[in-house]
Structure 1
Amino acid sequence: MRKPQSLLITGASSGIGRALALAYAEPGTRLTLIGRNELRLADTAGAAAAKGADVTPVPLDVRDRAKMTAWIAAADRNHPFDLVIANAGITTGLAPGALTEDPDAVRAILATNLIGVLNTVEPLITPMCSRGQGQIAFIGSMAGLRGLPYSPAYCLTKAGVHAYAESLRGRLERRGVCVSLAIVGFVKTPLNDSITAMKPFEISDTRAAEIIKVGLARGRATIAFPWPLYMATRLGRLLPARLYDRIMARIEANVPETRERL
Structure 2
Amino acid sequence: MSQSQRSRCVLITGATGAIGGALARAYAGPGTHLVLHGRQMAKLEALAETCHLRGAQVTLSTINLTDSHALQVWLNELCAQQVPDIVIANAGKNTHPQGPDILEPWADVQALLDLNLKTPIAMVQHLVPAMQARGSGQLVLISSLAAWHGLPTTPSYSASKAGIKAYGEGLRGLLAPRGIGVTVVMPGYVTSPMCEAMPGPKPFEWPPERAAKVIKRGISANRARISFPFPLNFGTWWLAVLPAGISQWLIKRLGFNLPGDSPRD
The TM-score bracket by the shorter chain reads: over 0.9
Higher relative contact order (CA 8 A, sep 6+): 1
Look up the match of 2:163: 160
1:5-154 paired onto structure 2 within 5 Å: 5-154=8-157
Per-residue CA deviations over 1:148-171 (Å, capped at 9, x if unaligned) read: 111110011101100110111011
Per-residue CA deviations over 1:53-83 (Å, capped at 9, x if unaligned) read: 0000111121111111111111112112111
Deviation of 1:35 after TM superposition, in Å, equals 1.3
Percent of matched pairs sharing the same residue: 37
**Given residue 137 of structure 1, which amino acid in structure 2 is its aligned partner?**
V
**Given residue 186 of structure 1, which amino acid in structure 2 is its aligned partner?**
Y
Aligned equivalent of 1:214, options 217, 239, 252: 217
Paired residues of 1:86 and 1:121 also in contact (CA < 8 A): no
Per the normalisation by structure 2, the TM-score is 0.91
Deviation of 1:237 after TM superposition, in Å, equals 2.0
Paired residues of 1:84 and 1:121 also in contact (CA < 8 A): no
Greater shift, 70-79 or 175-184, is seen at 70-79
Deviation of 1:182 after TM superposition, in Å, equals 0.7
Deviation of 1:4 after TM superposition, in Å, equals 7.8
Structure 1 gap ranges (5+):
256-262
1:219-258 paired onto structure 2 within 5 Å: 219-250=222-253, 251-252=255-256
Partners of 2:22 and 2:233 lie apart in 1 by 22
Per the normalisation by structure 1, the TM-score is 0.92
**Given residue 123 of structure 1, which amino acid in structure 2 is its aligned partner?**
H
**Given residue 80 of structure 2, which amino acid in structure 1 is its aligned partner?**
R
Paired residues of 2:152 and 2:257 also in contact (CA < 8 A): no
In 2 relative to 1, CA 187–254 (structure 1 residues): closer, same or farther, beyond 3 Å? farther
Paired residues of 1:7 and 1:81 also in contact (CA < 8 A): yes
Structure whose alpha-carbon radius of gyration is higher: 2
Greater shift, 122-131 or 112-121, is seen at 112-121
In 2 relative to 1, CA 178–160 (structure 1 residues): closer, same or farther, beyond 3 Å? same
Partners of 1:17 and 1:78 lie apart in 2 by 23
Greater shift, 11-20 or 244-253, is seen at 244-253
Partners of 1:252 and 1:234 lie apart in 2 by 16
Secondary structure in structure 2 of the residue aligned to 1:183: strand
Paired residues of 2:146 and 2:236 also in contact (CA < 8 A): no
Partners of 1:153 and 1:68 lie apart in 2 by 24
Secondary structure in structure 2 of the residue aligned to 1:31: strand
Structure 2 gap ranges (5+):
260-265
Deviation of 1:254 after TM superposition, in Å, equals 5.6
Partners of 2:58 and 2:201 lie apart in 1 by 37
Paired residues of 2:151 and 2:251 also in contact (CA < 8 A): yes
Partners of 1:92 and 1:119 lie apart in 2 by 22
**Given residue 240 of structure 1, which amino acid in structure 2 is its aligned partner?**
P
Greater shift, 246-255 or 99-108, is seen at 246-255
Paired residues of 1:188 and 1:204 also in contact (CA < 8 A): yes
Deviation of 1:137 after TM superposition, in Å, equals 0.5
How many pairs does the alignment contain? 254
1:193-208 paired onto structure 2 within 5 Å: 193-208=196-211
